[in-house]
């Protein structure tokens, strides 16, 4: 008969056996996880593979951490961050993040407080971009740069705690109805790709923290694999989003070749980018969203892909991206300003990338400088006269149908002379969201642009060029837009020597209603009607224009209040000169406008 002591010893031995078995199972599971995660055939992972051959998962993880700390990019990033003084931006957003004030978007400042217990669904301003971009974690790298430079572990701890908190509170797939609503923002492919793009750079710094363990590394490598797989699974159907996602997937494959999934990511990304280069870029080099800012982004993304995988792209592919760069450069005015067509914001910081592109694609930039050029597939027409220092430049937009970032603005134009765009387009101001939809629609509306409207309704796309002539004396372009049912808008622009711009507008068809032609002037224009019925601006610096109208007897002229936006969520008032009249029959209606530059004519 067994004594109590015998029973105790038996139970104790059984518990030890169970614990040992669990440890073995855990070790095997950890080893299986590493085998599924890593490409163990790579030479640099040989110590990891050898440890796994011995079923020593702990040693394998330790070897993996040693490898990651010794990687050239991790060592270089750490030394650079240690030595370089953090930027004012990095210091600001990192210090804000310590108190859970997160920098999501430059247009919504100051940064919002998301609570002591972080509420990642907090959304006080119903602007979609604010909530989307919260999930891009723009403050994570600044936290780690501050840690590397100062050695203060509070920055590292904040990064580590906020990452795990975000992962816990933003589940995918959804578990509740609240989760499902949040997935639209946190797990859109563009945001997934943005986080994927930041993770390798974060790891390159974080691995040097004494508190960063082998388990931490494996956790973050799993995050990279998960994000990469989800970028592909949830990728956008088209447009710049798809280009961002695929270029970031290719970048992750190049930066983390140790991951078994990297080869598949690379193949999928390259194939998709090559397909999209054929789909998204017209023969004249214009990207099909018809927005200069996103056009430059698309060009840069294709160029990055070519740098990462040069063998995958043909000389014809390179020529096409070179044409994209040359087109973008052509739309900038000599002083660095540019038209604000569609959703374009201030692009002054992008000119550097165009200068770099000119070096990368010299063939595309081997052409005369300040001359007129037409891009009929994309619907952009650049008219120039004189030398860039003293000449003039007009850009007309009248193109095919596009989508979200394009605006119903066919026929709108900019006129630049003496370092001023006298008819700057409205810009976009804001994107979507319950609190911003009305403002977005107001900036997008056809009546917010320098073109023709019928009853102030939005016009239709599908413009075509019917005439283009560039000579030493003048450049003339004529475009036709099926603007409204029963009404075609024909607009002819002629830019002549000396900077005189003539605009001939014809509205023809059986549609009736109120026609209006608007000239959207810059802030500070102070338009003034002269006794002869013409108008002029009154800028403080004396750099002005005069507008004369022919065939204008039945047109009523008045000044409307309009808006111009150069940056997201920022706008300033500007005057709009509006001419309107009734169209009550099928008879064609004409208006000829002459814009003449004035200088120091008080």
CA distance 507 to 504: 10
Strands of the 380-385 sheet, one edge to the other: 373-375, 380-385, 392-397, 412-417, 420-421
CB 447 within 8 A of CB 516: yes
DSSP state of 309: -
**Across 513-588, where does the E strand assignment appear?**
513-520, 528-529, 535-536, 543-550, 556-567, 570-583
Please give the pLDDT value at position 22: 38
Rg (CA), the chain: 30
Residue position matching structure tokens 């043909």 = 314
CA distance 2 to 203: 58
CATH fold group of domain 373-599: Beta-galactosidase; Chain A, domain 5 (2.70.98)
Helix (H) or strand (E) holding 120: none
Question: Quick check: is 155 catalytic?
Answer: no
Strands 380-385 and 513-520, bridge-based pairing: unpaired
| Backbone angles phi and psi of 281, in degrees to 5 | -115, 120
CA distance 112 to 101: 5
Secondary structure (H, E, C), 365-389: CCCCCCCCEEECCCCEEEEEECCCC
Half-sphere exposure of residue 111: CA atoms within 13 angstroms, side-chain side: 22
Burial zone of 16 (CB within 10 Å; 0-12 exposed, 13-18 middle, 19+ buried):
exposed
CA distance 82 to 145: 8
CA distance 493 to 500: 10
Three-class DSSP category at 201: helix
CA distance 234 to 63: 34
Domain regions of the chain by residue span: 1-70, 258-367, 373-599
Left (φ > 0), alpha (ψ -120 to 50) or beta: where does 245 sit?
alpha
Half-sphere exposure of residue 303: CA atoms within 13 angstroms, side-chain side: 20
**Number of neighbouring beta carbons within 10 Å of residue 600:** 8
Tokens standing for residue 312: 């995958």
CA distance 146 to 192: 24
Half-sphere exposure of residue 311: CA atoms within 13 angstroms, side-chain side: 2
Please give the pLDDT value at position 241: 97
Among 294, 375, 415, 484, the one annotated catalytic: 294
Residues in the chain, pLDDT under 50: 17-27
CA distance 165 to 144: 17
- Dihedral of alpha carbons 93, 97, 98, 101, sign: positive
């Amino acid at each position: 008969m067994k004594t109590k002591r015998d029973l105790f010893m038996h139970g104790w031995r059984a518990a030890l056996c169970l614990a040992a078995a669990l440890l073995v199972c855990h070790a095997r599971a950890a080893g299986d996880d590493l085998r599924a995660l890593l490409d163990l055939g790579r030479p640099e992972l040989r110590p990891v593979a050898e440890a796994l051959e011995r079923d020593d998962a702990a040693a394998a993880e330790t070897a993996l951490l040693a490898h990651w700390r010794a990687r050239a990019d991790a060592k270089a990033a750490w030394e650079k961050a240690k030595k370089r003084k953090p930027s004012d931006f990095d210091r600001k957003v990192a210090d804000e993040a310590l108190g859970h004030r997160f920098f999501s978007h430059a247009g919504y400042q100051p940064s919002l407080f998301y609570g002591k217990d972080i509420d990642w669904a907090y959304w006080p301003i119903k602007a979609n971009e604010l909530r989307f971009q919260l999930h891009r974690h723009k403050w994570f790298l600044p936290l780690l740069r501050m840690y590397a430079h100062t050695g203060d572990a509070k920055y590292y701890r904040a990064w580590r705690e906020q990452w795990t908190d975000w992962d816990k509170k933003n589940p995918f797939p959804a578990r509740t109805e609240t989760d499902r609503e949040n997935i639209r923002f946190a797990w859109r492919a563009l945001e997934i790709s943005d986080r994927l793009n930041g993770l390798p750079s974060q790891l390159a710094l974080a691995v040097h923290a004494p508190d960063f363990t082998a388990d931490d590394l494996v956790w973050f490598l799993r995050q990279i694999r998960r994000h990469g797989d989800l970028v592909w699974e949830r990728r956008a159907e088209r447009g710049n989003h798809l280009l961002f996602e695929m270029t970031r997937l290719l970048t992750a494959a190049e930066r983390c070749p140790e991951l078994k999934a990297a080869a598949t990511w690379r193949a999928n990304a390259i194939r998709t980018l090559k397909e999209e280069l054929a789909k998204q870029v017209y023969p004249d080099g214009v990207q099909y969203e018809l927005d200069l800012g996103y056009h430059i982004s698309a060009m840069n993304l294709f160029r990055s892909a070519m740098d990462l995988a040069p063998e995958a792209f043909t000389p014809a592919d390179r020529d096409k991206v070179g044409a994209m760069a040359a087109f973008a450069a052509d739309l900038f005015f000599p002083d660095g300003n540019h038209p604000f067509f569609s959703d374009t914001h201030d692009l002054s910081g992008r000119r550097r990338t165009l200068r770099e592109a000119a070096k990368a694609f010299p063939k595309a930039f081997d052409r005369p400088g300040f001359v007129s050029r037409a891009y009929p597939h994309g619907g952009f027409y650049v008219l120039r006269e004189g030398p860039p220092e003293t000449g003039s430049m007009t850009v007309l937009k009248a193109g095919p149908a596009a989508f979200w970032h394009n605006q119903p603005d066919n026929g709108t134009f900019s006129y630049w002379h003496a370092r001023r765009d006298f008819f700057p387009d409205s810009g976009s101001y804001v994107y979507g969201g319950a609190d911003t939809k009305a403002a977005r629609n107001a900036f997008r509306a056809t009546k917010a642009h320098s073109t023709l409207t019928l009853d102030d309704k939005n016009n239709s796309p599908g413009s075509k060029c019917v005439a283009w002539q560039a000579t030493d004396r003048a450049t003339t372009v004529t475009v036709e837009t099926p603007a409204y049912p029963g009404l075609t808008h024909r607009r002819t622009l002629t830019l002549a020597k000396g900077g005189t711009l003539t605009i001939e507008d014809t509205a023809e068809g059986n549609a009736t209603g109120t026609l209006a032609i608007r000239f959207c002037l810059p802030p500070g224009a102070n338009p003034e009607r002269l006794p002869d019925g013409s108008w002029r601006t009154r800028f403080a610096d004396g750099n002005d224009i005069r507008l004369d109208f022919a065939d204008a007897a039945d047109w009523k002229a008045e000044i409307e209040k309009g808006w111009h936006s150069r940056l997201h969520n920022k706008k300033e008032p500007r005057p709009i000169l509006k001419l309107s009249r009734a169209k009550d029959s099928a008879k064609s209606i004409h208006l000829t406008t002459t814009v003449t530059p004035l200088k120091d004519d008080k």
